[in-house]
Amino acid sequence: FETIIEHYGLTDKGLLRLAQIVHSADVRADRDQDPIASGLEAIAVGYSLRFPDDLENLERQFDVYDALYAWCRLQVAGEG
């Protein structure tokens, strides 16, 4: 996810915050660097168990990531 952000030079602060969370959730060694990462990892694993087909899994998780992105935008808006 963060590779896509870097490749396209995206600078949206909410998106950058989301990238931090996703990175920490994806990289076990970094999981404790973000308090939301463990929860996101648990949700992702749960979706994988419920929807083993990759395409269906991805489609169903879009709403989760859209909601998390909305929350990230709200959080960074409060920073100044």
Per-residue pLDDT tens digits of the chain, which is 80 residues long: 899 999 999 999 999 999 999 999 999 999 989 999 999 999 999 999 999 999 999 999 999 999 999 999 999 998 86
Alpha helices in 27-53 (DSSP H): 37-50
| Both tokens assigned to 62 | 């879009």
Show me where the domains of the chain are located: 2-77
In this structure, which amino acid lies at residue 32? D
- Cβ-contact 33, 54 below 8 angstroms: no
Q: Is 27 helix (H, G, I), strand (E, B) or coil?
A: coil
Closest of 2, 76, 69 to residue 61, by C-alpha: 69
User: Residue 55: in which H helix or E strand, if any?
Assistant: helix 54-77
